[in-house]
Chain A
Amino acid sequence: MLKTGTERVKRGMAEMQKGGVIMDVINAEQARIAEEAGAVAVMALERVPSDIRAAGGVARMADPTIVEEVLNAVSIPVMAKARIGHIVEARVLEAMGVDYIDESEVLTPADEVFHLLKSDYTVPFVCGARDLGEASRRIGEGASMLRTKGEPGTGNIVEAVRHMRMIQGQIRKVVAMSEDELMTEAKNLGAPFEVLLQIKKAGKLPVVNFAAGGIATPADAALMMQLGADGVFVGSGIFKSENPEKFARAIVEATTHYQDYKLIAELSKGLGTPMKGIEISTLAQGERMQERGW
């Protein structure tokens, strides 16, 4: 008996990405550069987050032409973003054969109350989270992979660090609690009890958790690995840098050897100016993508 779309197959796909870098690309050429540099997957987009930020207006699923172009260009997995709660964008991407869908706050939400019921799909989903409550709700809905939300398109690591520290700290707390304290913790976090129970028993999240949102240098990538990320997403950082090939390779190596500081020093030499970046406190509430989703 052959079964597709099982929890194990969907979560397992993310397990295979561990220790790797997933890169945002907007065309076939960038996708090839990413693959050549050692990316474990690419995220096909119409615009990288920093350009979405600059352009303003409503950000939607990419033009299927771009997604198709990227699917045909590389042999590594291809991910694409659908708006939060946009059932049809997600189904369209699934029908196109995309390997993973990011139900993403980088795009303008289509539903301000409900996220997708991700367990309904054959294709696996990755979702952003700022804390364990949000992470557990997404797992409850069927997300097969998580990532920190960070603050996309800013080139500022501070929010990704905050979210990773928060999630790891809350996991440690849940693991240390006795089982009869978990229901109250579930209520406080707004987390499904069953998911917390699983976390307590396993001592870790039941799905892979990557870092995303603001990684701009090899040292940023290594920092997130040290804080417990299973891998990293790099969005605007690579193709907004002066030498994308070199930059992409440096990020990949720094992620693998995140505790080899001599190597990271070598990798960081002469990379040119990284993206300028944005100080978070200068962003108005409405400009903070991490506030999208619930």
Chain B
Amino acid sequence: MLKIGVLALQGAIQEHVKAIEASGAQALGVKRVEELEELDGLVMPGGESTAMRRLIDRYQFLEPLKEFAKNKPVFGTCAGLILMAKRIQGQDTAHLELIDMTVERNAFGRQVDSFEADLMIHGVGEDFTGVFIRAPFIVEVGPEVEILSKHNDRIVAAKQGHFLCAAFHPELTDDYRLHQFFVKMVQANKEVVA
């Protein structure tokens, strides 16, 4: 069975574990660098990106995560998407720099502006409920990046090679289509490597 990790430093970890298991893969919380070893893919959950980054630095996770991402699929939601971006608006530095895109944090406003909206996600399906919580959006993407979904002309989901990201929280709904999509990416990647 495929083994997919969920970076478990902070945030909504259990919800991703549940969604991955419902999508037919084994899910494991990852708190230590050595736990990355056996994984076929990794989810970076929603939470507070600044808090996660502090913990990533404190436990020397940054380089091992970048190394892992070189040939294993990664899926980031909300804060996870921010961690994956090459550029963050208003900041000189970014985090893992995996996807060629510029993101804006808290781009829809504060918590009172958090919302739910129906989305169409290319390759995944229609009528997907996007739960946006103090969410970022993708301001612009490089030529290699495939735009999967937009909300009011703003990019909210994208894919680049074996990287997937969403500005919303599929883990907060019972709709596992996006997780199933990622599990398929992990499966395909494993077959190529094998």
* A and B associate in one complex: yes
B-binding residues in A (CB < 8 A):
1-6, 8-10, 12-13, 15-20, 35-41, 75-77, 94, 97-100, 122-124, 249, 252-253, 256-257
Chain A, residue nearest B173 (CB) = A8
Chain A, residue nearest B152 (CB) = A2
With A2-B117, A94-B112, A99-B111 in contact, is A19–B133 under 8 Å at CB? no
**Alpha-carbon distance A6/B111, docked complex (angstroms):** 11
Q: Would you give the shortest CB distance from A119 to chain B, in whole angstroms?
A: 15
Q: Are B116 and A19 in contact (CB under 8 A)?
A: no
**Alpha-carbon distance A18/B52, docked complex (angstroms):** 12
**Alpha-carbon distance A292/B90, docked complex (angstroms):** 44
Chain A residues contacting B58 (CB-CB under 8 Å) are: 38, 249, 253
**Alpha-carbon distance A9/B113, docked complex (angstroms):** 10
Q: Are B50 and A97 in contact (CB under 8 A)?
A: no
Q: Are A256 and B31 in contact (CB under 8 A)?
A: yes
Q: Are A40 and B111 in contact (CB under 8 A)?
A: no
With A4-B115, A5-B112, A257-B31 in contact, is A15–B54 under 8 Å at CB? no
Chain B residues contacting A10 (CB-CB under 8 Å) are: 114
**Alpha-carbon distance A12/B11, docked complex (angstroms):** 11
With A1-B118, A18-B10, A99-B134 in contact, is A75–B51 under 8 Å at CB? no
Q: A12-B133, A15-B12 are in contact. List 10 more A-B contacts (CB 8 A).
A: A2-B117, A8-B172, A12-B169, A19-B11, A40-B47, A75-B105, A76-B48, A99-B134, A123-B112, A256-B55
With A2-B116, A6-B116 in contact, is A252–B54 under 8 Å at CB? yes
**Alpha-carbon distance A9/B46, docked complex (angstroms):** 13
Q: Are B116 and A3 in contact (CB under 8 A)?
A: yes
Could you count the A-B residue pairs with CB atoms below 8 Å apart for me: how many are there?
A: 121
Q: B26: CB under 8 A from chain A?
A: no
Q: Are B131 and A12 in contact (CB under 8 A)?
A: yes
Q: Are A123 and B111 in contact (CB under 8 A)?
A: yes
Q: Would you give the shortest CB distance from A109 to chain B, in whole angstroms?
A: 25
Chain B, residue nearest A121 (CB) = B112
**Alpha-carbon distance A37/B132, docked complex (angstroms):** 26
Chain B residues contacting A9 (CB-CB under 8 Å) are: 114-116, 131-133
Q: Would you give the shortest CB distance from A74 to chain B, in whole angstroms?
A: 9
Q: Are B11 and A18 in contact (CB under 8 A)?
A: yes
Chain B residues contacting A8 (CB-CB under 8 Å) are: 116, 131, 172-173
Q: B78: CB under 8 A from chain A?
A: yes
**Alpha-carbon distance A10/B116, docked complex (angstroms):** 11
**Alpha-carbon distance A77/B79, docked complex (angstroms):** 13
26 pairs from A and B in contact (CB 8 Å cutoff): A1-B118, A2-B116, A6-B116, A13-B111, A13-B133, A16-B47, A16-B169, A18-B10, A18-B13, A19-B9, A20-B47, A20-B48, A35-B50, A38-B54, A38-B55, A40-B47, A75-B50, A75-B105, A77-B48, A77-B134, A97-B110, A97-B112, A98-B111, A100-B111, A123-B112, A252-B51
Q: In the complex, which residues 151-166 of chain B have their Cβ closer than 8 Å to any Cβ of chain A?
A: none
Chain A residues contacting B110 (CB-CB under 8 Å) are: 77, 97-99
Contact with A along B7-21 (1 / 0, CB 8 A): 011111111000000
Chain B, residue nearest A19 (CB) = B10
**Among B31, B112, B172, contact of A12 (Cβ-Cβ < 8 Å):** B172
Q: B102: CB under 8 A from chain A?
A: no
**Alpha-carbon distance A257/B32, docked complex (angstroms):** 10
Q: Are B51 and A15 in contact (CB under 8 A)?
A: no
**Among A5, A18, A100, A253, contact of B12 (Cβ-Cβ < 8 Å):** A18
Q: B106: CB under 8 A from chain A?
A: yes
Chain A residues contacting B109 (CB-CB under 8 Å) are: 97
Chain A residues contacting B118 (CB-CB under 8 Å) are: 1
A-B pairs, top 5 by smallest CB distance, nearest first, are: A38-B54, A99-B111, A40-B48, A19-B10, A15-B12
**Among A38, A77, A256, contact of B111 (Cβ-Cβ < 8 Å):** A77
**Alpha-carbon distance A4/B50, docked complex (angstroms):** 25
**Alpha-carbon distance A38/B105, docked complex (angstroms):** 17
Chain B residues contacting A37 (CB-CB under 8 Å) are: 54
Q: Are B114 and A13 in contact (CB under 8 A)?
A: yes
**Alpha-carbon distance A10/B132, docked complex (angstroms):** 10
